[in-house]
Amino acid sequence: MNELSIDEVLAEVAVLVKPHFGKGRVPDYIPQLATVPGTKFGMAVRTVDGGEHAIGDADEGFSVQSITKVLSLGLALNRIGDEVWTRVGKEPSGTPFNHLSLLEAEGGFPRNPFINAGALAVTDILLDKVKDPAALVRGFAGFLADGPVAIDEAVAASELDNAWQNRAIANLMRGKGTVRHDPEAVVAAYSRQCALTMSCRQLARAFLPLAAGGFSPLVQETIFPERLTRRLNALLLTCGIYDSVGSFAYRVGLPAKSGVGGGVVAVVPGKATVAVWSPELDRFGTSVVGARALEAFSQLTNCSVL
């Protein structure tokens, strides 16, 4: 990947996605997110050899929401290792990210760490180690992005005020023993974690270790063992885009994680990370324009891992 070619690709992607604006809708179940204009679009690429490329609103911060689940999982795995998998599974869910029926049928054991039940279980694990998991995730994200990032307290409050489904999930898991702390404390910590604000450029930087075998060329430190990096990428490929993960893999072919704030981050192993932001979501909770942008990027660069 050379600088000119990536810049040209980003410019072409920006043109190709224009017809897809208006095909999704900005989420309103978290009222604070509904205030963001649906026409926003930013994209950033960070290569393992130090190149950085951006277009559009790539430096505007937005609520990264479920993308933080990757960071919290990485922190939990680095701290307690495979014991994490005694509390959460590794299988695609095939149901919406906040679904209850499958969780109840399977005894309160979440299918994977990227649905809300799994992320709440990971937050519960982190509460064993720290008093403020959201601050831990914020600090980790800022370290990886090589700059400060913040939690938007207004978004956190809006999310917590409307977290009835997550409260139901946490209470169900508390009854089954998967969650061991006060469910309200778990939901509050998770809500603040999801309210982390980052830009596309910062997200591309933060996810760079997943493209570089666990090493961050940006901060010059090994963040994850190589074996764990491969496993995180495998989980992103199979579980990162909720119950549309098969369609996304078919179209894009890259490990990725989406969030209802409109962000999507994808990993090109050995080469780069790509972050996109556009707030209008499809019915599965993934950015319509973001997914289309990554599909076009994958095709134009022939970087699919499949």
Collapsing DSSP states into helix, strand and coil, what is residue 298?
Answer: helix
Q: Which residues are annotated as a binding site for substrate?
A: 66, 116, 159, 166, 190, 242, 260
**Helical segments of the chain, H only:** 3-16, 68-80, 101-105, 116-127, 133-145, 153-161, 164-176, 183-194, 200-206, 208-211, 226-239, 245-251, 288-301
Label residues 92-126 b or e (16+ Cβ within 10 Å = b). Answer: bbeebbbbeebbeeeebbbbbbbbbbbbbbbbbbb
- CA–CA separation, 291 and 270 (whole Å): 21
CB count in 10 Å sphere of residue 185: 16
In single-letter form, the type of residue at position 64 comes to: V
- Contact of 196 with 141, CB cutoff 8 Å: yes
Q: How many alpha carbons fall within 13 Å on the CB side of residue 127?
A: 19
CA 127 to the chain's CA centroid = 20
Distance set, CA 131 to CA 64, 136, 149, 305 (Å): 22, 9, 19, 39
- CA–CA separation, 144 and 175 (whole Å): 36
Q: Which residues are annotated as a binding site?
A: 66, 116, 159, 166, 190, 242, 260
Rounded to 10 degrees, the C-alpha dihedral 115/206/201/194 comes to 30
- Contact of 208 with 49, CB cutoff 8 Å: no
With a CB cutoff of 8 Å and minimum separation 6, the contacts of 176 are: 107, 108, 109
